[in-house]
Amino acid sequence: MNSEPVIKIRDLKKTFKSNNGGVIEAVAHVNFDVSENDFVCIVGPSGCGKSTLLRMVAGLETITSGRITYRGEDVSKPRKEIGMVFQEYSLLPWRNVIDNVALGPEFLGVPRQERYDKAMDYLRIVGMEAFSHSFPHELSGGMRQRVAIIRALANDPDVLLMDEPFGALDAHTRILLQKELLRIWENHRKTILFVTHSVDEAIYLADRIMVMSARPGRIIDIIDVNMDRPRHRSDPIYGQLAEQILAVLEREASVSFGNANTERMTEMKENLCLN
């Protein structure tokens, strides 16, 4: 079952033109596979190109060179098998909750009654059926991201891409949504590629963690998280993994910026402690 990877990334490279005419390399030499039902997290310092990487997998960004394939087919534009959840609030403010959830099926031409039944089913999954006619501005941040997640699920995608979806939430809500996401992942069997700058979040969620370097982003380490679920943050393995990942990031930071630059590391360590 796990023989053929769902997502394959080979020699991926992405460059941007900068404003002063130069070329910025955002992502370089990225190679990895994501297997069926895997939960893969990508961690890395801010601005390392991890969001760009995810946007390329989503088909929102062009590829400079290399390949991204979904079940053997090249990804060059968005496709319904690949869903995405963003960090920014992305619900359409002029549509109520159920109209937002039904948006994907609406684009795909699912008949009205069918798509609203479906949207309602997904609202029940996150316990938000009572809010079906509320507008996004009436919801809390956590609720908005719940709706954003089920909106992506309503198209029944195979792969779910998540770009720091809980980044804007407070610590408590964040932990709650992490649990909820794991429940959805276990019940609905999705393949998830999740970007975060929080080492803690990555260890809590992932089967496998890809550690990315500073720009140009490369995968500098791949760590398998062999912990039983549900995971506990008090588990000694948890702390060891965190140490290990932070050490990789620290070594990388000193290579790219020299020993003087420890600012990013401090920031990352703070993130770990806060969560």
Partner 1 sequence: MGIKGFFVRTGIYLLVPFVFIALWGFIARHFANEVILPDVGQVAKLFMKPTESLISMGSLTTNVAVSLVRVLAGYMLAVCIGVPLGIIMGYYGTVFKLLNGFLAMFRPIPPLAWVPLVLAWFGVASLATLFHIDRGTAYIYLSNLKFSMIFIIFIGAFYPILTSSIHGVMGVRNIFLDSARVLGANHWDIFRKILLPGASPSIVNGMRIGLGVAWMCLVSAEMLPGSLSGVGYLITHAYTLARTDIVIAGMISIGMIGAFLDLFFRIIENRKFVWTRLTR
Report the interface residues with partner 1, using CB under 8 A.
55, 58-60, 78-80, 82-84, 86, 88-90, 92-95, 103-104, 106-108, 135-137, 148, 151-152, 155
| Sheet containing 7-17, strands listed edge to edge, beginning at the edge strand earlier in sequence | 23-34, 7-17, 65-70, 73-74
Please report how close the Cβ of residue 241 comes to partner 1 at its closest, in angstroms. Answer: 31
- The rounded distance, in Å, linking the Cα atoms of 53 and 55 is 5
- Contacts of residue 1, Cβ cutoff 8 Å, sequence gap at least 6: 36
Please report how close the Cβ of residue 148 comes to partner 1 at its closest, in angstroms. Answer: 8
Tokens of 256: 């790219």
What DSSP designation does 5 have? Answer: -
Classify residue 23 as exposed, middle or buried by CB count within 10 Å of its CB (0-12, 13-18, 19+). exposed
Residue 13 identity:
K
Is there a contact between 244 and 236 (Cβ–Cβ < 8 Å)?
no
Please report how close the Cβ of residue 93 comes to partner 1 at its closest, in angstroms. Answer: 4
Please report how close the Cβ of residue 52 comes to partner 1 at its closest, in angstroms. Answer: 13
Tokens of 221: 């380490």
Closer to partner 1 by CB, 62 or 261: give it: 62
Classify residue 178 as exposed, middle or buried by CB count within 10 Å of its CB (0-12, 13-18, 19+). buried
Please report how close the Cβ of residue 54 comes to partner 1 at its closest, in angstroms. Answer: 11
- Contacts of residue 249, Cβ cutoff 8 Å, sequence gap at least 6: 43, 44, 45, 199, 211, 265, 268
Please report how close the Cβ of residue 7 comes to partner 1 at its closest, in angstroms. Answer: 15
